[in-house]
Chain A
Amino acid sequence: MPEQLALPILETRAASIGYGARLILRDLDLSVPEASFTVLLGPNGCGKSTLLRALAGLIRPQQGTVLINGYSISMFPRKELAQRIGLLSQNQSAPEGMTVMDLVRQGRYPHRTLFGRWTKEDDEACEEALAVTDTADLAGEKFDTLSGGQRQRAWIAMTLAQRTSVLLLDEPTTFLDLSHQIDTLRLARKLVRERGVTIVAVLHDLNQAARYADNLVLLKHGAIVSEGSPADVLTSDIVKRVFDVDVTIITEPRTQAPICVPVEDADL
């Protein structure tokens, strides 16, 4: 398991994170190995998105710290942090009439100075982001003419154009049809394997997570219930504890990835 040996690139240490008096995550210790694909799973409201926002430096922990490469992220100026960490939030919206290219270009913001010109590198980053998300032919299209899946891919392209070594994706597969869901997960894994990018994503589909991720982190009520490789974490006992659903775990014969199948009472 190479990811066990890799150094943590992102860490939270005894981090308690919340909004005002309301704590969402308590005393959380998490380390994300470099060049790995980590998926956060858990019931709605368990603090997955809050954790991503804290990892991106958008909320400060009320106690504890968040570290990148061993340094507290609060030490970095915002733009410098944005050169290292890219975040794709949930439920994005772009103004109607804006084109896909307009949006993707905004991903270059942290790399530009106040009076800096648009460079060749900016162009390359945008073109590459469009190409890998299969949105190049949509570049000139206006946002209000796109389907939900196309919009989502445009947002992913914008985040990729930022060219960060860490990518945080909050439900990147929502609104996508199955083939684009798989494309997105494959893309994530490819970025990890080929470029050494570290990805932390929130997903809802346990089986897709088990198939594509290196690490799973299962959260409930703001605490980590279990973390580790899919085979270690996805047991019927743990899934029952986290999601309160009875499942049978079977093994996919070719990849040995675990698959959860809900158990129904015979009389239903």
Chain B
Amino acid sequence: MRSVLILSGFSVVILFLALAIGDHHVSIAQILAVLTDSPAADAQSIQIIRDIRLPRVILGFLVGASLATAGMIAQSVLRNPLAEPGLIGVNAGAALAAVIVIVRFEVPPTHLLSWLAFAGALTMSLAIYALSWNSGSSSLRIILIGIGLSSLAGAGANFISTFGNPQAVQRAMVWLSGSIYNSTWDKIRTLATWLTIGIAGSALIAREMDLLILGDETARARGQPVELIRAVMFVLCAVLSGAAVAAAGLVAFVGLIAPHIARALVGHSHGLMLPVTALAGGLLVVGADLAARTLFTPAPLPVGLMTAILGAPFFAYLMWRKKNA
């Protein structure tokens, strides 16, 4: 529990830093004034905080929390510590849908783009689940078919990009690279809704996940309806990560790393892991975004690139530790 308190305290610090630091610095006093709607807040601070930084920080946090929770579910349902939501086709599905829409319709309205990306993510992951069904599902089949279908979708996206209008393709690439710079309260509301559903669902089946990770046979012998639980986990994972991708494009590695951080802090019980994973994921994205827009000024990096830069060494570390275990 102490680690959770430390993590929460750390979150508050990061969130305040993310609000304060930028092209124009805002003092802590001013931030508090804006947040509490006090008359001491000056007009410029109100505009910067309320219209730009606050939505960006909140959206970043929600994106991270969604991806992290989806990652935890993916690692448990696929029974693989190196799994992440991308493995069940969410990224590839969303990317293909987005590329088709952007290249085909030039300038699609943002909310349409988000919805279609979401739909693409869900369709792809459900197709993977359906194709891997062979009188029952298995983790290994899901992983293999997921990799296969994802490559196919990637090839499709590349094919379209090759023949598309270069400007539209450029826009699609920027959208895909994962950014939260044009955050709106609208996006926040949509993602917050899906995140609430996803987290509530995960909390309900936390105990089921504790058992399922021990293997199908063991879970079945304890009386668990394994296929039902796995299907629910699959849908939760697809919804959470699909909604995150729709809001921010592809933000890599958060879904992989956050569950590991949580496990190191509170152990394997999903009930305890869930809040810590979500918190850690949110923090990672907000922190990475803060780094991405301050360390490399005047050319801020997309946050998706930053999490990849931070995440790749961590992934290598996990592989190395596994090899030496």
Contact = CB atoms under 8 A, between A and B. Distances in A.
A216 B242 CA distance: 56
B325 interface: yes
A149 to B, nearest CB: 19
Contact of B223 (A81, A89, A93): A81
A78 B268 contact: no
B263 A82 contact: no
Interface in B260-287: 263, 267-269
B162 to A, nearest CB: 43
Contacts of A98: 267-268
Nearest to A85: B221
A56 interface: yes
Interface string A75-96: 0011111110011010011111
Interface stretch (A2-10, A101-109, A230-238): A101-109
A96 B325 contact: yes
User: Contact residue range for chain B?
Assistant: 20 to 34
B222 A162 contact: yes
Given A89-B217, A95-B81, A103-B214, A109 B223 contact: yes
Interface in B9-39: none
B268 to A, nearest CB: 5
A104 to B, nearest CB: 11
A58 interface: yes
A78 B325 contact: no
Given A97-B263, A106-B214, A82 B269 contact: no
A89 B267 contact: no
B325 A144 contact: yes
Nearest to B205: A114
Most buried by A among B207, B215, B222: B222
A110 interface: yes
A12 interface: no
Q: Is the interface of A mostly helix, strand, loop or mixed?
A: mixed
Nearest to A144: B325
B308 to A, nearest CB: 26
B101 interface: no
A99 interface: yes
A86 to B, nearest CB: 7
Given A94-B214, A98-B268, A107 B222 contact: yes
Contacts of B79: 95
A162 to B, nearest CB: 7
A102 B211 CA distance: 10
B297 interface: no
A97 B207 CA distance: 17
Nearest to A109: B222
Interface in B212-238: 213-215, 217-218, 220-225
A266 to B, nearest CB: 47
B278 to A, nearest CB: 20
Contacts of A77: 223
Given A94-B214, A106-B210, A56 B81 contact: no
B215 A97 contact: no
Contact of A80 (B211, B214, B223): B223
A107 B220 CA distance: 12
B225 A99 contact: no
Interface string B56-79: 000000000000000000000001
B148 to A, nearest CB: 24
A92 B214 CA distance: 8
Contacts of A94: 214
A58 B221 contact: yes
A86 B221 contact: yes
Contact of A102 (B217, B221, B268): B268
A24 to B, nearest CB: 16
A78 B211 CA distance: 15
Given A78-B223, A95-B213, A102 B218 contact: no
B223 A82 contact: yes
A110 B223 contact: yes
A98 B269 CA distance: 9
A81 B211 CA distance: 17
A27 to B, nearest CB: 24
Contacts of B325: 96, 144
B222 A110 contact: yes
A169 B267 CA distance: 29
A127 to B, nearest CB: 18
B213 A56 contact: no
Nearest to A108: B222
A89 B325 CA distance: 25
Given A56-B221, A106-B214, 7 more contacts: A58-B220, A78-B225, A80-B223, A95-B213, A97-B263, A107-B222, A110-B222
22 contacts: A53-B217, A56-B221, A80-B223, A81-B223, A82-B223, A86-B221, A87-B221, A92-B214, A93-B215, A95-B81, A95-B268, A97-B267, A97-B268, A98-B267, A98-B268, A99-B268, A103-B214, A106-B211, A106-B222, A110-B223, A112-B207, A162-B222
Q: When A and B form their complex, which 4 residue pairs have the shortest distance between CB atoms, in order from nearest?
A: A82-B223, A79-B223, A87-B221, A109-B222
